[in-house]
Structure 1
């Protein structure tokens, strides 16, 4: 782990923690402080990483500052019945150029991934999602991204990398390791019909806000993700005002916390980021408090992972075969541990997409198939493999 890129947690936060209960969460986190130095990462499962880079955040300058407000609110919460070891690595400061910050963040995330430590990224614009994605290049695997966002952030192909154009860079730039992208909670009036059609043509998964608020619809999108990226603009302004791009509609606080728990409980999610927090627009640190609770729920989810697919063998599942009138049968699997469902995709054993052989789905997808309605997610996965 390259510690040179990281600065310690602010001394005022450490002093604040000393005033809290000995049982609070902050007292069980291994914190990078001026006095204690960099924490030991042995047996750590989750590492908090602050990013103070805001130069490519569109219309939200300042979104890398004052991350200590989030830490204060997180540290004072009480943990659940957890076995999870957590570290707080401190912050990556702005480099001389944005590219310097990007390099540092990508390198740190890459090192954490190789140690099987889940980075929880706070601060910075959502362009950091692209940097997070590039950290997976070293793992030489295809990647699924689930973004919780009111906008697709496609931008134009010739735009520079910003918080509102990062997705086109992920899709177009080499090496292209993206297998699937899911957007959860988009609001139609913020996205052109051409953009909506483009994502459909790419066989990506999109969930309008109304559909996404029925939370059981979106759980498979998180179970299938490697990277989860949350833009605070997906949360309604009354709940999370600390974002210059906030709007009246979006998720409620309890909904975004449930989403964070979905991300945590997914056996596949290996990095998690919450972006676009801008403290100067906050109201009595309300947004900082909500972000702290989102992180709490993510940790709660990680603590209750049950090692379903891709960690279990098929003997741990019930198999269901659905005969279709005019096509090959569809095969579904239901976990004996959790009752969660998957649908099988036929992939050659030497195919680089082998880890996507089972696509998460819902019980409704299975019942639809029994009525001869092929689940859309199966169709999209097969088209991507064609």
Structure 2
């Protein structure tokens, strides 16, 4: 009987030991799986970049907490563990462009180079920035896919592919005309971001995939784009940097001043598109102190030093081809309408020393002629002023207010 009891105790002990080992093994592999998963990208298909600031003096864990809070990584613990393993002292504080498509290894590498570093991506991923040229994006795609960059550039201009994309994404592709002049290239319809291009196929397939993602990203804007005739590249270039709120703010500004610009056009003969474009450009879309606080939309200067009539502010002027910061006295208006009215009167009646100074602007038949006339008639010192106005008018379809 004692032998059987001893055997039972040994068997019971062995069973308990095996069970405990099983628990430890399961816990180990579960932790390893969770840990390994923590290193992976949070969302491999996220095409958006976010500016994330890592504060100076942050510990690896605090950095990880920031990245997890901003929804860039899966696990702050995984980031801290990786950083400690490969050298947390190499991490540099600053503001980084990061994406949830980046894994911990890529983010760590980027943060050891510094805030000026281009986004570091896993194999098979391409980064397309909002300031990149078509050639730069083609090279990024080529590196990620092994599709030659020359083939990507050809696809951007391919008329057959343009027709195919117009048929597939009609709301996105307005502004491209494969049978005549091409206002934009397919490249202009690619939304800046990071793309998982693994297994994308040939150049046409890659470009089609990029445009498909852009089409999804722009769906919230399609109703406003259609109602106002605004092309997709305008929305893409703005929202990829400033977000939807800035698009809505600028559109609201146009809607606010357009009816009055049309009234002034009838009275003074100044094209409404020119009045709106100049107001948007000179006031930084009503985001300058001079416009938002003093109702001066056009940067009008004055010699009137009476209280409430003027204010002295810093301004940028182009002198001999170089931009200089100077102080100048600017007019103060009771309302934004007063500012627009005086602007129209100045163009229509000129100055006291030259009443015909802007006669070419008045004689212009369209916004391109008027924009050139402003430059020729010495309205602005910026040598790029004509092209700036033309681009702004075409980007926001301001010509519609001239009809």
* TM-score, normalized by the shorter chain, greater than 0.5: no
- Pick the structure with more helix per residue: 2
- Pick the structure with more strand per residue: 1
Higher relative contact order (CA 8 A, sep 6+): 1
TM-score (norm 2): 0.23
